[in-house]
Each structure stands twice: as structure tokens, then as C-alpha cells.
Amino acid sequence: MSLQTELQAADPGRIEAAGVSKAFTTGRGTVLALDNVSLKVAEGEFLCLVGPSGCGKSTLLNLIAGLDFPSSGRILAAGQPVTGPGRDRMVMFQEHALFPWLDVIGNVLFGLKLKPGLTPAERREVAAYYLSLVGLEKFHHANIHELSGGMKQRVALARALAPNPRVLLMDEPFAALDALTREQLYGDIQKIWQARRKTIVFVTHNVREAVCLGDRVVLFSPNPGRIRAEFQIPLPRPRDINSVELARHATEITAELKGIQSAGEVSE
Amino acid sequence: MIRTISSLVFFLILLGSWELASRSGAWSPMVLPPPSQVAEYLWQGLSDGSLGEATLVTMKRLLLGYGLGVLAGVPLGLLTARFRVLQDTLGLLALGIQTLPSVCWVPLALLWFGQSEAAMLFVVVMGTLWSVLIATSDGVRALPPIYLRAARTMGSNGLHSWIYVILPASLPYLVGGMKQGWAFAWRSLMAAEIFVTILTGFGLGQLLQYGRELLAMDQVVGVMTVIVVIGLLADRLLFSPWERFFHKRWGTGSVG
């Protein structure tokens, strides 16, 4: 595998969840985190999963990542059953999950070193490419704790992109950031998504964020986790989170979300 | 620079008041030898080679026993963290034995190994092993699970995860445990050397004990000084560089 092919974007992947249920057994009994959820994510689609906490959206992401397995039903990546984590599906976590014992480029290299067929020099070049893609070309040897929250998530993004996955799974990656930093990252992630042609599954509880980023927004309801509604977002890109059009879509979804939450309060 | 000066001034004042106190005649020089007399002993001990030889004997015992303790303690700690069964058995045993001052092993060591180097070695290993084991195991178990999850998504698992994630992530704990192990080993060896005469080599502890028997308090205080200096040097050379690296990398420790 040459450096050139490595730096070319891998073809975006296809994800399918077919009749997926996931039950967790806790001290207080069994919780059905996902109940018979079916979902298809097309090649190159930017899909956002939204819902109140406990609706199973992060659980579904973990199942797609292969970090956990469904109690019943199947998860398919490119038509193949998911049997564990794979370099074709990289994950970005809410907590940046960067390794504090490595510097910035060491973190980006971690996954690359596990990828066969590259020389050390080529790996460094790939890592440098992704660090400049996220605007951190001057921070190769910075320590993780020296970075701001936004910069940490940029490193985490570069680390996830570096092994050239077909699918990017993002679990509330911007939830812990301030509003201004978040808005910058919305712009960046849209640019990178278009440039690198990834399929992205993005979990968030922030409806505006979902509308700003997603081609499609899937709304989950909790107890048990089910798909409640789907919304197409046919807005042109790049999108501005403060635009009126975007707000209109967000209001529609928020109304539906409030319906879920008040129903939950009544049933409790 | 200011820190060096303040250290220097502090020790000069300490030595100065000690010298004055000894010379005031309030205490017999037998009870409180002045630093000048201690320095004289040190000079003499260094020039006739007795101090150097004792230091060599002690350091050999210490490094060998400590090395063995670390070599066994780290892997055992990793295994203890990994397997619940070991945690409930070996881990519990380690926790119990760790509370035992390792000088308590001296009678048994003498019974088992006689007045030999092996007895010394045993006491030092007992001082090191358990604290290193516990620190390693604690370090691994304090590891945030997110690191391993992130590593798994990048294709790391099994042995690779142990070497490239778990071990480096728990290094600060590990070095903390090694430092504690060093202190325990050092203390237990001194206690053992003071209690037991080993004919194959006279260590610092024995030199100190002879000083006591001869009522040569300048020798006792002189050997104590050597022990303190070695302890300080070990901390500065063996552990401080690591700790500085951790503080810099992890961003811990604002006071440094």
C-alpha cells in the first residue's frame, strides 16, 4: 500500500441495523436499552441520532462500533455482520479519550502503527497530514493537557481519521465544549466530511447541532429505546447554526422531543 | 538559584547551631558529637576505605534485593489486577504483609538462611515486593476504561493493549510504588544489618552498630549522614527524573 493510496479517502461505508435489541442487566433488573430498532445508513450519509438520555442512541453507536453486541438482531457494516471493532469504523468519544502518556502526534500515530503496510516515515506523514487537516500542524509535540478542550477534540478527530475509516462514529463529541468552539467545529467537521467522503453517525442530545450537521435526523424515545421519528434536512451546506431555516427544522424536532419527554413524565 | 541558596543557608544554619550546641558544654561530646568531629570521622573513614567498602556491600545487597523485588512485583501486580481470583488471594496477602514492617522478617530469615547474604536478600525482597505489587495492581485498576475502549477501536487488544496502553497508563502509580518499595527496602536492610552480623561483608548498618558498641557517636552520626545522603541521591537520580516527566506529560503537580 503506497502513501498516495493511503491518503486517498476510503470509499464511505454502509451500515445497517436489523431488528436490533439490547438489554442490560443491572442490580435493579433488566433494562431494554434498544427495542427492535432497524436503521439504514447510506454510503456517505451524515446521520444524526437524537433523543433524551437513556434512549439508547449511544448504545446503538457502541454496537455499530463493535464495542458491544446486540441481544438480538444484527448489525451489518458493508453487508458484513459486525463481530468486533474494526479500522473501517472509527469512534470519537465525548471525553476525548486521548492518551496522556503520548504527545499529540503520538496519539494520532497510535492507530496508524496498528495498520499494516506502511513504513514508519509514511505513518508520520499520514499523521502530519491529518493534524494539518484539523489545523494543528504546529502542535505535533504538545502534551495533551496543554491543549484546550476544542484542540483536544481536534486531535481526537485526527486520530479517528488517520487510519482512513469508511465510517466515523461520533458520540456527543462536542458536548463538553463552549458554544463558540462548538460552532467552529461544526464548520470544520462539515468541510472534512465533504473532503474525505465519510459516512458519519453522530449522536447528540442537541437538536440544533443535529440539524446543522445531519442529512437526516433520527429521533429516539426512551424506555425502551425506539426510533420515534425521522427528519430529512435538505438544507444547503455549509450550514450556519444560527440561520432561520435551520431553526425552523430544529423547532419541529424539538416539539416532537418535548412530546416524548412529557409522555415520559406522565408514565412515571 | 534562589532555591539553591535557601537550601544552602538552611543547612549552614542547622550545622552551625549544632556545632555551637555541642561546644557549649551542655552535653557531653559522647552524647552529641559536634559536626566537625563527625566530618573528621567521615574523612578518616573515606581515606582508610572502611566507609567506601561498607557502602559498597550495602548497596550491592540493596540493589540486588530491590531489583528482584521489582522484577517479581510488577508482573505479579499486573496479574493480580487482571485476574479476580489473584486479587482476592495474592492481592489480599500482599495487602496484609505490606502492613508488616519488614524487619519482622529478620528472625525467620535467620532461621531459614542462617547468618548469610541470603538472609539479607530475603529481608530486602520482602520489603520491596509487596508495595511494588500493590502499587502496580492499584495503578492498573485505576485505569479509566475509556482508554481501553479507544484502543480497541484502533485495533489494539490483548498483549498490545497491555504493553502500549495499560502499562504506560499506570506508570505514575508504578513509579510511586517503586519509590515506596525503595524506601521500604532501604529501611529493612538497615534494620537487618544492625541486628545481624554477616561475616561475608560489613555493611553500613553494621558500621553503625559498631559505633554504638564502641561508644563512638561520631561514627554513628557519620554513618547516619551517609545513609541520608544515599537516600537523597537515589531519590534525585532514580525517581525525580521520572516524576518530572510525568508532571510534564500528564500535567499533574502544579508545585514543583
Q: Cell for A45?
A: 450519509
C-alpha–C-alpha distance, residues B256 and B245, integer Å: 12
> Confidence class of residue B256 from pLDDT cuts 50, 70 and 90?
very low
> Confidence class of residue A264 from pLDDT cuts 50, 70 and 90?
low
Domain-embedded: residue A20: yes
Condensed to tens digits (0 to 9), the pLDDT of residues B190-248 reads 988 988 888 788 899 999 999 999 988 999 999 999 999 998 898 889 888 888 888 88
Domain-embedded: residue A128: no
Share above pLDDT 90 across residues of chain A, in percent, rounded to a whole number:
74
A117 close contact with B: CB closer than 8 A: no
**Contact B136/A69 with Cβ under 8 angstroms?**
no
Helix H, strand E, coil C: the string for A32-95 is EEEEEEEEEECCCCEEEEECCCCCCHHHHHHHHHCCCCCCEEEEEECCEECCCCECCEEEECCC
8 Å CB contact of B153 and A91: yes
Share above pLDDT 70 across residues of chain A, in percent, rounded to a whole number:
97
Condensed to tens digits (0 to 9), the pLDDT of residues B8-52 reads 999 999 999 999 988 888 888 778 889 999 999 999 999 999 999
Domain-embedded: residue A256: yes
* Nearest in space to A250 (alpha carbons), one of A211, A221, A213: A211
Chain A partners within 8 Å of B160 (Cβ): 114
By CB neighbour count within 10 A (0-12 exposed, 13-18 middle, 19+ buried), where does A27 fall?
Answer: exposed
User: Which of B150, B160, B250 comes nearest A93 by C-beta?
Assistant: B150
A145 close contact with B: CB closer than 8 A: yes
Across the range A164-179, mean pLDDT stands at 92
User: Which of A84, A95, A114 comes nearest B154 by C-beta?
Assistant: A114
Give bridge partners of residue A37 from the DSSP assignment. A20
pLDDT at A1 over 90: no
Q: Buried b / exposed e across B128-160, counting CB within 10 Å, b at 16+? A: bbbbbbbbbbbbbeeeeeebbbbbbbbbbeeee
**Contact A58/A171 with Cβ under 8 angstroms?**
yes
Q: Which residue matches cell numbers 492518551?
A: A99
- Number of structural domains, chain A? 1
**Class of CATH domain B40-249:** mainly alpha
Q: Tell me if the bond preceding B101 is cis, omega within 30° of 0.
A: no
Return the top range by mean pLDDT from A88-92, A238-242, A263-267: A88-92
Q: Which residue matches cell numbers 484546550?
A: A148
Distance from A8 to chain B by nearest Cα, in Å? 19
Condensed to tens digits (0 to 9), the pLDDT of residues B51-60 reads 999 999 999 9
Condensed to tens digits (0 to 9), the pLDDT of residues B69-99 reads 999 999 999 999 988 899 899 999 999 998 8
Condensed to tens digits (0 to 9), the pLDDT of residues A132-142 reads 999 999 999 99
8 Å CB contact of B152 and A85: yes
A-chain residue closest to B149, CA distance: A67
In this predicted structure, what is the pLDDT of residue A260?
Answer: 82
> Confidence class of residue B255 from pLDDT cuts 50, 70 and 90?
very low
Query: What residues of chain B have any CB closer than 8 angstroms to a CB in chain A?
Result: 146-147, 149-156, 160, 164-165, 168-169, 171, 248-251
C-alpha–C-alpha distance, residues A230 and A253, integer Å: 9
User: Which of A67, A95, A144 comes nearest B153 by C-beta?
Assistant: A67
pLDDT at A266 over 70: no
DSSP A143: B
In this predicted structure, what is the pLDDT of residue A91?
Answer: 95
Domain-embedded: residue A208: yes
Domain-embedded: residue A69: yes
DSSP A232: E
B-chain residue closest to A141, CA distance: B249
Q: In what order do the strands lie in the sheet with A80-81?
A: A29-41, A15-26, A72-77, A80-81
Which helix (H) or strand (E) covers residue A206, if one does? Answer: none
Condensed to tens digits (0 to 9), the pLDDT of residues A208-234 reads 999 999 999 999 998 889 999 999 999
pLDDT at A82 over 80: yes
Chain B interface, best mutation among A58, A61, A101, by max B CB count within 10 A: A101
**Contact A51/A220 with Cβ under 8 angstroms?**
yes
Count the Cβ atoms, other than its own, within 10 Å of residue A1: 10
Q: Which three-class secondary structure state does DSSP give residue B247?
A: helix
Q: How far apart are the first and last CA of chain A?
A: 57
pTM beyond 0.90: no
pLDDT at B135 over 50: yes
List, as ranges, residues 18-57 from A with C-beta within 8 Å of B: none
Q: Which residue matches cell numbers 552551625?
A: B16
User: Which of A65, A115, A144 comes nearest B153 by C-beta?
Assistant: A65
Domain-embedded: residue A229: yes
Condensed to tens digits (0 to 9), the pLDDT of residues A89-106 reads 999 998 889 999 999 999
Give bridge partners of residue A17 from the DSSP assignment. A39, A75
Q: Buried b / exposed e across B182-201, counting CB within 10 Å, b at 16+? A: bbbbbbbbbbbbbebebeeb
Domain-embedded: residue A233: yes
In this predicted structure, what is the pLDDT of residue A60?
Answer: 96
8 Å CB contact of B149 and A97: yes
For A197, the domain range is 13-99+168-267
C-alpha–C-alpha distance, residues B249 and A98, integer Å: 12
Distance from A251 to chain B by nearest Cα, in Å? 34
Q: Which amino acid is at A16?
A: E
C-alpha–C-alpha distance, residues A35 and A57, integer Å: 11
pLDDT at A150 over 60: yes
C-alpha–C-alpha distance, residues B206 and B199, integer Å: 10
Chain B partners within 8 Å of A67 (Cβ): 149, 152-153
* A to B CB pairs, distance under 8 Å: 66
Q: Is A21 left (phi over 0), alpha (psi -120 to 50) or beta?
A: beta
Q: Buried b / exposed e across B202-227, counting CB within 10 Å, b at 16+? A: bbbbbbbbbbeeeebbbbbbbbeebb
Q: Which three-class secondary structure state does DSSP give residue B233?
A: helix
8 Å CB contact of A100 and B251: yes
8 Å CB contact of A100 and B250: yes
Domain-embedded: residue A254: yes
In this predicted structure, what is the pLDDT of residue A139?
Answer: 96
Instruction: Give me the CATH number covering residue A73.
Output: 3.40.50.300
C-alpha–C-alpha distance, residues A199 and A185, integer Å: 17
User: Which of A87, A89, A143 comes nearest B249 by C-beta?
Assistant: A143
Report domain extents, chain B. Answer: 40-249
Q: Taking the C-alpha atoms of B41, B47, B53 and B55 in order, what is their torsion angle to the nearest 10 degrees?
A: 50
